[in-house]
Structure formats: C-alpha cells, structure tokens
C-alpha cells in the first residue's frame, strides 16, 4: 500500500516508554520491497496507524525579492510524515500487516505505530539504493536511460554518486528534489563491442576505491555492461530543438488595486520575445523601461550591497512607453542582454523609480562550429544565458561520456564559448553540455572548503532535471 500524507500527527509518546513490540521482515531493501510488520502487546481490538517518517529536500539558494539569487548554500531538509497502512489488533493486542516500500529517499526510515496520533512503538527500515539501465544494447548514439532509486541526499557520504563510462567520469548523479530517484540519459559512444557503465559513490568529488573495506561497505555500487552493436547511428535533434520552452507567468487579477507590472513569461531563453504589461499607472504618462544586468567578477574589489564583492547593477533602457487614458500599457520586447538568471525590469518616470518586476533568462545553445573535421579540430561550443550566480555560472562539457571541464560566464555577460578538440577514430562523437555548481559560500568571503562533503563543484550535474535551473544540450561531431 502506498503511503498517504498524514495530517495533524503529533508524534508524541503515549507514555514514558514504548508499548508492545513490533518487527519488520525484511529490515532493508530497495524501493518497492514488500514488507511484513508483526506486533504483540498492543491495545486489544484497536485501530492503529503505521506511519513512515521521511523528509522533503531542496537546494538552498540565496533569495532576494522572491528570486533565486547569488549564493549557493547547500541543501534544506524538512521532516515529513506519511501514513502507510491502518492496523487492526486482535483480542490479544497482536497484529500482522503488509505494505510496500514507497518511492522515496534512501537510508534509514523510522516507522511508528500510532494510537490517535501518539507513538506506541517503532521499527526501522533501510531503503537500499537500486539502479537499472535500458536498453542494454544498441547502435552508436543510442540513448541509454539510467534510473537510480533510493538515493539519500540527507547523508553526506552514502547519498552521492558519479557515473562512469569505460572508467571515464561522466558526472554527478543527484536526487535532491526528486524524492530519491535519479534519471540520467547518455549516448552510446565508442567502438562496437561491450562497454561498462558504473555508478560509484563519490561524495568527496571522486570515487573511493576501497569502499568494500571501509565503514561504509554497505553502500551499494553498480556495474552494467552495454553492447554497442553495428547499425545506423542515432543522432541528437538540432540543438535549437533542445532549448527548454518558455515558462508562462500568471497575470495579476484585475481586482487587485495599485501599480502592477508583469511579463507573460516567468522564464525565457536568451533573445526571446516577451510581453511587458502595466496597470494602474498615471494616465497618459511617459515611462522609461529599464533592464537590469549584473556586471563584474569574483576577483575585483567592487562591492555593492546585495550583489556582494565584485558585482554591481548596470541599467540600460529597453523602451519608452506612454500609458493610455486608464494608466495601462503593453510592450513587446527583446532584451539586448544574454546574461542568464533573474533580471529586474524597472519602470521610471524621469528620475523617479515607479515599479519593478522580474524575468529569468535561461540557456540558449548554438550549433557547433565546425560540425565536422579531422582529428584535433578545434570545436567551439557556444551557449548564451549563462548567469553570474554560483549555481548558474558554469557549463560543464563531456565528450563521448568523458568529462572534459567547464567554462564560466564571469566576464562574458552571459555568452560562453568553450573550446574543445576532436579526438577518436573517424565517425560520430558526442558532446554533451550540462549545468554545474561553481562553489558554495559558508560565510562572507569564505568559499567551499576542500574537505566539504559532498563536494559537487565544477563537475557536470548529469541529473540536470534536479539542478535548480537545469538544462542539457547534446551535439554530434563527425571526425573525418
């Protein structure tokens, strides 16, 4: 039986000691395991509830004015309790019930037997990690789907993995916002024959290869063969078709009073047209509409309030507009800026600030230059919409499922051109572009420590859907 959200559960002990005794069989297993719970010594002829204690998780990003801002501050966890099954005791206070482990975060979970919201007793179940791939064979370029369940990001050691392809690191597997389940897709690369896909624990930024002889020998790792067979190569669609769609925004209710300014989208890719609307302004008035970029770097000494050392605002005028007799306006605009992240759009009347709204710019990728060439060819990978913030400042690249490195948008105002080089035998090779975290701020002026666990930085986050503002672009390059 799948857990249901439990309401108004106090989780307080019914007495100063546990009542009865309960056992689980088995006591650990992957998501989907069928479990039997047996109890003795509970109140007779009673209806009890079995609840599952777990948590919700999210990336912890600095907030400003309702927007994801600069600093990446790790993770935020909040306790969550769900009802698993209702239990009925017999005339001797015994019970027997079955349930199925839900798709949830891995690690240890407490299960409580409750009587009207009060704890009577508890048992523990460890959700083990599990993984599978599909398909297990295919021609060059075949999308290989890798699904991993039971990841525990609340544990600094056991909840962090990297993916390897033929002993080459691809990137990090995370499951912070996805309830312990990770989805990865990589292309089948290399020559015909058997290739090895490995999932290794890598909380320190690289796998520990003596895990079997450590205190964490219970942590599971996974190895899968993939058979690359002859056949027509499977090539990715044009990169323009891989750009994420615009995210619609909701217009304020006409019942609202006062000044209102909004955009038709909350997020667009760079160089996309959007509509800016205003309501409740002074009738027949002239307004200047400004776009706000954040310029600077993490090296200079410039310091400006909420932007921190090295950054400051730069305003440029998008348009002039005249409100109608009712104080409304509507504009179709394309920002000149290609800088990613949240941007303020401000309305001014001469030198007086009137109103502000926000629009987020996402990544836009361009075709490879060139798309083919001999061994050693310099390949330019251009992406716009790269931000100044710690979680959106980098793009990470892989070549044939081997991590190459990263590029950042510090001084480029949103446009990044990474240079890589063609290698391998003649034929098709694959370039993937992923998000990455730049660093984490512990306090003013102190960046991520070298012994921080997990150490996620400057590596590809290949579970890009789990990244705060994720994306993934895939290219095919032909070595001639």
Q: Is 212 helix (H, G, I), strand (E, B) or coil?
A: helix
Q: Give the confidence band of 273 by pLDDT, cuts at 50, 70, 90.
A: very high
Distance CA 460, CA 138 (A): 25
pLDDT for the residue numbered 443? 47
pLDDT digits (tens, 9 = 90+) for 436-472: 998 766 544 445 555 688 889 999 999 999 999 999 9
For residue 271, count other CB atoms closer than 10 A to its CB: 14
Q: Domain 363-479 class? A: mainly beta
Kindly give, in sequence order, each residue whose CB lies less than 8 Å from that of residue 250, ignoring residues fewer than 6 positions away.
Answer: none
DSSP letter string, 318-374: EEEEE--TTS-EEEEE--S----EEEEEEEEETTEEEEEEEEEEEPEE---BSSEES
Does residue 5 surpass a pLDDT of 60? no
pLDDT digits (tens, 9 = 90+) for 168-182: 999 999 999 999 999
Answer CATH for 130-228 from 3.40.50.300, 3.60.40.10, 3.40.50.11540, 2.60.40.1930: 2.60.40.1930
Q: Give the confidence band of 309 by pLDDT, cuts at 50, 70, 90.
A: low
What is the average pLDDT value for the chain, to the nearest integer?
A: 92
Instruction: Match 């309790």 to its residue by tokens.
Output: 81
pLDDT for the residue numbered 15? 59
Handedness of CA 418, 421, 427, 433 (dihedral sign): negative
**pLDDT: which is higher, 189 or 159:** 189
Does residue 312 surpass a pLDDT of 90? no
pLDDT for the residue numbered 297? 72
Kindly give, in sequence order, each residue whose CB lies less than 8 Å from that of residue 130, ignoring residues fewer than 6 positions away.
Answer: 30, 31, 148, 149, 150, 220
| Average pLDDT of the residues in 245-268 | 95
Handedness of CA 246, 247, 253, 257 (dihedral sign): negative
Does residue 256 surpass a pLDDT of 60? yes
Domain-wise residue ranges, the chain: 4-127, 130-228, 247-362, 363-479
Does residue 7 surpass a pLDDT of 60? no
Does residue 416 surpass a pLDDT of 60? yes
Domains 4-127 and 363-479 are alike in CATH topology: yes
CATH number of 247-362: 2.60.40.1930
**pLDDT: which is higher, 101 or 3:** 101
pLDDT for the residue numbered 71? 87
Does residue 13 surpass a pLDDT of 70? no
Superfamily of domain 4-127: Macroglobulin (MG2) domain (2.60.40.1930)
Predicted TM-score (pTM) of this structure: 0.91
**pLDDT: which is higher, 475 or 71:** 475
pLDDT for the residue numbered 434? 98
Closest by Cα among 146, 181, 193 to 31 = 181
What are the angstrom distances between the C-alpha of 203 and each of 76, 157, 288, 426, 457? 18, 5, 50, 36, 11
Does residue 14 surpass a pLDDT of 70? no
């Amino acid at each position: 039986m799948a857990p249901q959200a439990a309401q108004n559960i106090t989780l307080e002990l019914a007495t100063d000691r546990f009542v009865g005794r309960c056992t689980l069989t088995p006591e650990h297993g992957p998501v989907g395991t069928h479990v039997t719970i047996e109890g003795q010594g509970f109140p007779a002829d009673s209806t009890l509830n079995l609840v599952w204690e777990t948590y919700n998780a999210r990336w912890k990003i600095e907030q400003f004015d309702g927007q994801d801002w600069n600093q990446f501050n790790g993770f935020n966890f909040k306790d969550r309790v769900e009802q698993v099954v209702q239990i009925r005791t017999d005339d001797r206070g015994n019970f027997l019930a079955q349930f199925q482990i839900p798709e949830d975060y891995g690690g240890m979970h407490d299960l409580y037997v409750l009587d009207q919201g009060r704890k009577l007793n508890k048992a523990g179940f460890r959700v083990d990690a599990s993984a599978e791939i599909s398909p297990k064979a295919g021609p060059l370029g075949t999308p290989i789907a890798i699904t991993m369940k039971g990841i525990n990001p609340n544990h600094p050691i056991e909840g962090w993995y990297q993916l390897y392809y033929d002993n080459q690191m691809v990137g990090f597997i995370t499951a912070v916002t996805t309830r312990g389940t990770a989805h990865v897709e990589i292309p089948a690369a290399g020559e015909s024959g058997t290739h090895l896909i490995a999932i290794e624990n890598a909380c320190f930024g690289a796998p520990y290869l003596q895990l079997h002889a450590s205190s964490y020998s219970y942590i599971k790792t996974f190895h899968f063969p993939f058979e690359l067979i002859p056949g027509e190569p499977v090539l990715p669609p044009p990169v323009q078709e891989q750009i994420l769609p615009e995210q619609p925004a909701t217009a304020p209710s006409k019942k609202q009073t006062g000044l209102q300014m909004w955009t038709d989208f909350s997020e667009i890719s760079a160089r996309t047209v959007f509509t800016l609307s205003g309501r409740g302004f002074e009738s027949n008035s002239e307004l200047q509409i400004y776009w706000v970029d954040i310029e600077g770097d993490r090296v200079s000494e410039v310091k400006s309030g909420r932007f921190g050392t090295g950054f400051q605002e730069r305003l440029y005028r998008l348009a002039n507009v005249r409100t109608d007799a009712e104080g409304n306006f509507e504009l179709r605009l394309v920002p000149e800026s290609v800088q990613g992240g949240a941007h303020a759009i401000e309305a001014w009347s001469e030198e007086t600030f009137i109103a502000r709204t926000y629009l987020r710019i996402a990544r836009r990728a361009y075709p490879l230059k060139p798309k083919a060439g001999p061994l050693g060819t310099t390949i330019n990978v251009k992406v716009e919409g790269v931000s100044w913030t710690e979680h959106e400042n980098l793009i990470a690249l892989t070549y044939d499922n081997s991590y190459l490195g990263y590029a950042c948008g510090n001084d480029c105002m949103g446009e990044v051109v990474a240079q890589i080089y063609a290698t391998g035998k003649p034929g098709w090779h694959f370039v993937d572009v992923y998000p990455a975290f730049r660093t984490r701020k512990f306090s003013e002026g102190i960046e991520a420590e070298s012994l921080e666990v997990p150490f996620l930085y400057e590596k590809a986050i290949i579970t890009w859907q789990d990244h705060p503002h994720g994306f993934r672009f895939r290219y095919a390059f032909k070595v001639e």
